[in-house]
Amino acid sequence: MSPQDEIEVTRDLIMKLEKLSMLQLTDEERSRMKEDLRKILKFFQTIASLNLEEVEPTFHPLAQGKLRKDVVRPSLLRDLALMNAVRGEGGYIKGPRTGGE
């Protein structure tokens, strides 16, 4: 990522993310999120600036994966899944629109 590609973390961006994620943050939480996002983006810029041509790709962060057994279990009942949904429609969870404004 070059310096001109840098994402500016503004109050408007935080408010848009808050709306898209359907959260209600306090001013203190917005301020903390703004600073956290700046740190995360700076970290990604650091990674993007590294010369990794000689580094082998890693497909799993652990040399030996310690994953749980894949066990078939009954699905969550639809009514239970929808119980805490902010919006539901026709038996489905309805999320916010994405894309154009």
Task: Kindly report the CATH class assigned to 1-52.
Answer: mainly alpha
Q: What would the pLDDT profile of 10-39 be if each residue is shown by its tens digit?
A: 999 999 999 999 999 999 999 999 999 999
Distance, in Å, from the CA atom of 86 to the CA atom of 37, rounded to the nearest integer, reads: 26
Distance, in Å, from the CA atom of 34 to the CA atom of 11, rounded to the nearest integer, reads: 8
Domain boundaries defined on the chain: 1-52
* pTM listed for this prediction: 0.52
Q: What would the pLDDT profile of 75-97 be if each residue is shown by its tens digit?
A: 989 888 888 888 888 888 888 88
